């Protein structure tokens, strides 16, 4: 049986490296990694292709030879305190123009499917208590990163209408797993330090997705006929409060959570005083997604629960801190 050749862009990234490693040990696939610099996941494959900066002039021809499916994880990602003179133009150059350059060349090369890893920021930044984003909601991005991703999605879906190449769009919520950085990593450090944290009374609801669940969804979309030209939201299928998440992290670390029940309105007020209102929104606000479409169209359910995902995430951190 011949293997499907899958091109993974952004092989150095959190999602791209995890996906490459998973595909490399799957007998149904052969993986080719494309990135600006060699990466660890590339050592597990027979193929690594160096590409330049992603944009409207990038040449993907060497990377696309013989490819059946492209999984495009590479992107200009959302950053705090962006220093670009025109942030939206900078995001569009990579996330819109660069994506369409790859898509057009992929279609010309005979690629049958193009999977675009987008972002829940296309839907928006927050949900009202008890409500959730759906895959077919009207996009409502509020920052340049989200706008660029939304524009790329629309351009890809229009392109697919006149192409033999099908498109799949996946919008993950915050992705966590071993080696995670940024806010999730900070929460692990906070809990591990043993200092009291003022998040014992946060009654929000947020969706997350473990890297293992996201990779399983992506692999399903590589071959599933029902995924053609569809948009899917990606989460663990469970919504937890910030308080509950910190308790799960503490349990995985085998440490007390030391959560002090400070009312959320007080925390919002304090964060606003020091210019951290956007950070407070991510910690205290709600963002829920409905992934019912994934089960209905793909028959896909998350492999791991939030509890299992947190334990798998914390385990290497716990081992390194003890050593």
**Which residues participate in catalysis according to the annotation?**
145
Q: Phi and psi at residue 298, in whole multiples of 5°?
A: -110, -15
Q: Are 243 and 201 in contact (CB under 8 A)?
A: yes
Rounded distance between C-alpha atoms, residue 266 and residue 203, angstroms: 13
**Tokens representing 47?**
């193929």
* CB 111, CB 67: distance < 8 Å: yes
Give the neighbor-by-neighbor strand order of the sheet with 113-117: 47-50, 29-35, 4-9, 69-72, 113-117, 166-172, 230-234
Q: What is the dihedral of CA 210, 29, 222, 1, to 10 degrees?
A: -140
Contact indicator for 258, 199 with CB cutoff of 8 Å:
no
* Contacts of 314 by beta carbon, 8 Å cutoff, 6+ apart: 188, 249, 252, 253
Please give the Cα distance from 115 to 277 (Å, whole number): 34
Measure Cα distances from 282 to 144, 172, 262, 274 in Å.
Answer: 17, 15, 17, 16
């Amino acid at each position: 049986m011949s293997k499907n050749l899958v091109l993974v862009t952004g092989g150095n990234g959190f999602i791209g490296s995890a996906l490459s490693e998973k595909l490399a040990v799957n007998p149904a696939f052969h993986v080719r990694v494309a990135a600006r610099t060699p990466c660890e996941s590339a050592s597990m494959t027979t193929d690594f292709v160096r590409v330049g900066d992603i944009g409207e002039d990038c040449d993907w021809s060497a990377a696309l030879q013989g490819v059946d499916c492209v999984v495009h994880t590479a992107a200009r990602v959302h950053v705090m305190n962006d220093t670009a003179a025109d942030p939206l133009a900078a995001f569009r150059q990579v996330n819109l123009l660069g994506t369409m350059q790859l898509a057009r060349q992929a279609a010309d090369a005979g690629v049958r499917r193009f999977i675009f890893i987008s972002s829940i920021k296309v839907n928006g930044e927050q949900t009202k208590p008890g409500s959730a984003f759906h895959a077919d909601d009207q996009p409502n991005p509020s920052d340049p990163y989200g706008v660029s991703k939304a524009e790329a999605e629309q351009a890809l879906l229009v392109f697919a209408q006149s192409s033999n190449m099908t498109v799949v769009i996946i919008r993950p919520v915050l992705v966590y797993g071993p080696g995670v950085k940024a806010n999730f990593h900070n929460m692990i450090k906070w809990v591990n330090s043993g200092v009291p944290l003022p998040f014992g009374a946060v009654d929000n609801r947020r969706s997350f997705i473990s890297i293992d669940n996201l990779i399983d969804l992506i692999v399903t979309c590589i071959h599933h006929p029902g995924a053609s030209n569809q948009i899917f939201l990606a989460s663990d299928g469970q919504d937890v409060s910030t308080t509950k998440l910190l308790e799960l992290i503490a349990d995985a670390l085998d440490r007390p959570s030391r959560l002090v029940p400070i009312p959320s309105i007080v925390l919002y007020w304090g964060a606003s005083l020091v210019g951290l209102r956007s950070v407070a929104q991510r910690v205290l606000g709600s963002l829920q997604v409905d992934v019912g479409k994934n089960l209905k169209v793909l028959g896909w359910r998350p492999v791991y629960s939030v509890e299992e995902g947190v334990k798998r995430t914390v385990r290497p951190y716990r081992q390194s801190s003890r050593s």
